[in-house]
Structure 1
Amino acid sequence: MYRKIVVAVEIGALANGEATFRKAASLLDSNGEIILLNVVEDVPTYLGVDIPVDLVENAARDAEDKLQRLIVATGIPARIEISHGRPASGIIASAEANKADLIILSSHMPDFSNYFIGATADRVVRHAKCSVLVDRRKG
């Protein structure tokens, strides 16, 4: 059982995130904590002129709202964390800052450019200082 689990949720694949969240709850110690994490990617500077100013802020608010609804729908207590930047870096930074002993993230079935596991999952597995569970999902 794990004391502190970071569950990385991609808002665009919330159904996968719910399944991963439920899996985390089944692995959690009775006094443990789950951190539901979404990393909002920053807009590249070369696109900055063409993108509405509040796009990233709106994405963060939307992510927090959807994660809160996920907590209510599942009845699983968790703390929500929204960070900004590159997904793999944000996931690893959250795990380190929270002293997590497990990261769980789902990974789509990869294509040839990232055959073994998804690109984000691959980076997290390679660089995390704690255990990582990659929950393989179709779609």
Structure 2
Amino acid sequence: MFKTILLAVDMNDLPESGHVAEAAVRMAQCEGATLHVINVIPGSGMAMVGSYLGPDQANVIKAEAAEKLTAWAAEAIPAEVLGELHVMQGTIYHEIIKMAQKVGADAIVVGANRPALKDYLVGPNAARVVRHAPQSVLVIR
């Protein structure tokens, strides 16, 4: 049913992402699917902040995140299901959906924390992925 799965992880919250990765790995193994992994670095927000940091700092942050993601994936994702690792920067839910389209994902696996009151009003990234993605989305708590 699923041939390509996109797993979204938060490298700043790896202890919480562990069970999400386990679910995605099991799903990929059962389906014989390839598992792509994405980590999105939130955008710098205001243009003024981005221009202050400069492109060199953004590249350093991205490189550090890619290194951390590679090390984590080597331990958490079996080689037989691992596709590509992707580190993007921007709006989290938008980058997840965009990457799912790019890799031809049939499903997206995301983690979700227990929602706070503000999340009911603003909406967490997982909820936005569910609302906007054309693929099936599995949300792991």
1:124 counterpart (112, 122, 129): 129
How far is the alpha carbon of 1:69 from its aligned partner?
1.1
Alignment pair present for 1:82 and 2:84: no
How far is the alpha carbon of 1:132 from its aligned partner?
0.5
TM-score normalised over the length of structure 1: 0.85
- Aligned-residue sequence identity (percent) comes to 26
How far is the alpha carbon of 1:115 from its aligned partner?
3.1
Whichever structure has more helix as a proportion of its residues is 2
RMSD between superposed Cα atoms in Å: 2.1
How far is the alpha carbon of 1:71 from its aligned partner?
2.0
Partner of 2:40: 39
What runs of 5+ residues in structure 2 fail to find an aligned partner?
none
Partner of 1:63: 65
Task: Extract structure 1 runs of 4+ deviating beyond 6 A.
Answer: none
Aligned residues: 135
What runs of 5+ residues in structure 1 fail to find an aligned partner?
none
1:1-139 alignment, distance < 5 Å: 2-28=2-28, 29-30=31-32, 32-44=33-45, 45-51=47-53, 53-77=55-79, 78=82, 79-115=84-120, 119-136=124-141
How far is the alpha carbon of 1:119 from its aligned partner?
1.3
CA 1:18/1:56 → structure 2, altered by over 3 Å: closer, same or farther? farther
